[in-house]
Amino acid sequence: MYMNIFVLYFYIMQDNLFDNTEIAFKDKSVFALYRGYIIFKIISFPRIVSFAKFILSFKLIYPLTKLLLKNTMLKQFCGGQNEDDCKNLIQDLNSRNVYSILDYSVEGLENELSFEETVSRTLNLIELNTSNNFPFIVFKPTGIGRFDLYKKKSSKAKLSDLEKTEWSKVLSRYDVICDTAQKKNVSVLIDAEESWIQSIIDEIYENLIVKYNSKKAVVYNTVQAYRTDRLEYLKKLYQTFSSTDFHLGIKLVRGAYMEKERQRARFLNYIDPIHKSKNDTDKSFNNCLIFMFENVELFSIFIGSHNEKSNYLALDYINKYNISKNKVWFSQLFGMSDHISYNLSDKGYNVAKYLPFGPFKGVIPYLFRRAEENTAIEGQTSRELFLYKKEIKRRNYSKL
């Protein structure tokens, strides 16, 4: 009976876990709280975001806008211009048991030099991870190979001899990164991009599983739950590997390219690969999550989401089925959903923040994507505003 009362108490407490703004914003000064509040307030107006984008295109006032963005958006959503700039932040996050996943958020050029640069930067990040004991690094497939080449391979079209050589270089880049990561005990997250380049990435991932995931999940593929076929994909992976000892690392996200996906499907007249409504995407995300939890002996789960309900669902499964905390990682983007990240880390769950960095000019598109995403996703900005306001109020009251 005592056990039942304890379980009931746990669930009541857990339901409110993310409401604790004192833990969520513990490190933020009053100034940083007001700054956060004002930023989310501003980006809740789509017209202001579009206007700021327009202003930035004028060279004359560029230095002024740069100064403004540097002290607002950049501070809220980015770690800095380079790895060194991020050091203090990394330590701050570390002190709260939150790991950093440094993410070079500058889109490179589509040439061999740029791809090699991405590889050497990723190898440097693996070194940095080793010295900080960070468990993950991340890269985008198009950071190490040409988009059109992935597209051609995904469509099963025949490659020319030149393209075959180019492709073998792409594959060897995956190998260099995963091999180094494995030796340094770091795991690799492969980001997901557009659906029309994903099938070849899924194929590469399956080969990498066999090479690197025998002792633990070194390589993680990303599943975008907004795609209608992704639960089937997970089931297929399960079927292929269930009788083996390999570990399947999966980063589960909802997906960031919805408009682009829908537009292309309309334009080329094929069935939209994305779920029809947000509700359907939510169901799909939760079903993918449940499927992995039910087969957790095979899956290592990395949840990339700011959605409270999905994160609560994960907690339910972890606690109901006594799943080892090491099997599950929670992750949010830096500057967003601190109430989820810090309340989870405070309770001993594995948490990592994606920490974008890069030269100012290069990260501007990232900053605008964050702003536009926050404006577009109903509820996301209002939730952040509500939380910042709540904490500002709480601090004022606690002074009385």
Ligand X SMILES: Cc1cc2nc3c(=O)[nH]c(=O)nc-3n(C[C@H](O)[C@H](O)[C@H](O)COP(=O)(O)OP(=O)(O)OC[C@H]3O[C@@H](n4cnc5c(N)ncnc54)[C@H](O)[C@@H]3O)c2cc1C
Binding site for ligand X (CB under 6 A): 191-192, 222, 224, 226, 253-258, 274-275, 277-278, 281, 304-307, 331-333, 354, 377, 380
Minimum Å distance from CB 191 to ligand X? 3
- Residue nearest ligand X, CB atom distance: 304
Minimum Å distance from CB 377 to ligand X? 4
- Nearest-angstrom CA–CA distance, 309 and 311: 5
Which pair of structure tokens corresponds to residue 72? Answer: 């607002």
Minimum Å distance from CB 368 to ligand X? 15
Other Cβ atoms less than 10 A from the Cβ of 315: the count is 21
Which pair of structure tokens corresponds to residue 207? Answer: 């080969």
Of 43 and 392, nearer to ligand X (C-beta) is 43
Minimum Å distance from CB 320 to ligand X? 22
Of 39 and 392, nearer to ligand X (C-beta) is 39
Angle at the Cα of 344 from the Cα atoms of 300 and 350, rounded to 5 degrees: 35
DSSP string, 8-24: HHHHHHHHTGGG-HHHH
Minimum Å distance from CB 267 to ligand X? 18
Of 212 and 302, nearer to ligand X (C-beta) is 302
- Nearest-angstrom CA–CA distance, 121 and 29: 33
Of 25 and 139, nearer to ligand X (C-beta) is 139
Helix, strand and coil content of the chain, in percent to the nearest 5, comes to 60, 10, 25
Asked if residue 334 lies in contact with residue 367, where contact means CB atoms within 8 angstroms, the answer is no
Of 21 and 305, nearer to ligand X (C-beta) is 305
- The closest of 165, 155, 234 to 198, measured between CA atoms, is 155
Of 206 and 280, nearer to ligand X (C-beta) is 280
Minimum Å distance from CB 59 to ligand X? 32
Max Cα separation, the chain? 75
Of 76 and 307, nearer to ligand X (C-beta) is 307
Minimum Å distance from CB 335 to ligand X? 11
- Nearest-angstrom CA–CA distance, 121 and 136: 14
**What value does the CA radius of gyration of the chain take, rounded to a whole number of Å?**
21
